[in-house]
Amino acid sequence: MTRGGSTARAAGIVTLVVAGLLGSAYVLGRSLVPDQTPPHSTGVTTSADGPHYADQPSVGEPGGTRNASASNSARPVETGQDGSGRDAGGDNLFGAHATTGSPRLALTFDDGPDPRYTPQVLALLSEYDVQATFCVVGENAQNHPDLVRSIVDAGHTLCNHSWHHDVGLGARSADAIRSDLLRTNAAIRAAVPNAPIVWYRQPGGAWTYPVVSVARQLGMTPLHWSVDPSDWELPGANKISATVLSQAEPGSVVLLHDAGGDRQGTVEALRRILPDLTARFELEALPTDPT
């Protein structure tokens, strides 16, 4: 072998050794850098029509793979002496109200207000002389203060539904939860300064002890539901109507949506169910002084 060949061979060996050392150093360096997790999903997507909300928590979110409404929304709630709540199926509600506590039935509408659907809902409720409860999202209240005023002027009750429908809010710090709820209340009161806000509904029903505790500290009673037709999944007016009419009973809190997506099916279902419900039950807006 020539001297030049020996030199080339030695250079090749050195190159391989250096490459190996550099690869090891890269792997070691990567192991020392924390994983960069993506920002927490709020369940909000946007479109030309405005925000759309995914109402149920996904796997790993507070509240489990799906909340109480996804499995059997009509299950009764058992409340212990310590005030903690757990429905009969084992889902934690941490004391959130799932019934009216009276023979009266309550219709509740989440995620609004929305300029297309909220006025239609208000018109139907007015036609049947029914008062309801509207769980409003802070960013929508800020964007549509005129609709918040219309809700209050019609005698309906307001409920805080977080700033931008953050299903994971209950997993955040108490300070973050408090900031979110106060920001939402401020947006509501910018539209209706003297309107009471005494109810809070956690998006997706993903209740945790911290979110319930902070809501109560701010003077709001946590509000769940007992009848859920899953109208957010867009099953159509027929299915929404059938679910509500078959599951409604004295004391029911019915979960519907007037925003967060295409809610025309909900509006049509409401047109169908109001004659039946008003014939069978006394419907009420939840009180503004819950005990």
To the nearest 10°, report the CA torsion of 113, 283, 167, 142.
Answer: 20
Under a CB-based contact definition with an 8 Å cutoff, are residues 60 and 68 in contact?
A: no
* Region class of 35: left (phi > 0), else alpha (psi between -120 and 50), else beta: beta
Residue 153: active-site member = no
Which member of 110, 114, 180, 231 is catalytic? 110
Return the bridge partners of 160, or none: 136, 200
Q: Phi first, then psi: what are they for 267, rounded to 5°?
A: -60, -45
User: Shortest CA distance to 74 belongs to which of 290, 264, 238, 246?
Assistant: 246
Under a CB-based contact definition with an 8 Å cutoff, are residues 139 and 51 in contact?
A: yes
Report the alpha-carbon distance of residue 98 to residue 103 in Å, rounded: 13
| 141: number of Cβ within 10 Å | 28
DSSP H/E element including 46: strand 44-47
262-282: string of b/e by CB count within 10 Å (b at 16+)? ebebbbbbbbbbbeebeeebe
| 255: number of Cβ within 10 Å | 27
Residue carrying the six token digits 């925003």: 259
Residue 110: active-site member = yes
Under a CB-based contact definition with an 8 Å cutoff, are residues 156 and 134 in contact?
A: yes
User: Shortest CA distance to 141 belongs to which of 187, 182, 179?
Assistant: 187
By annotation, the residues acting in catalysis are 110, 257
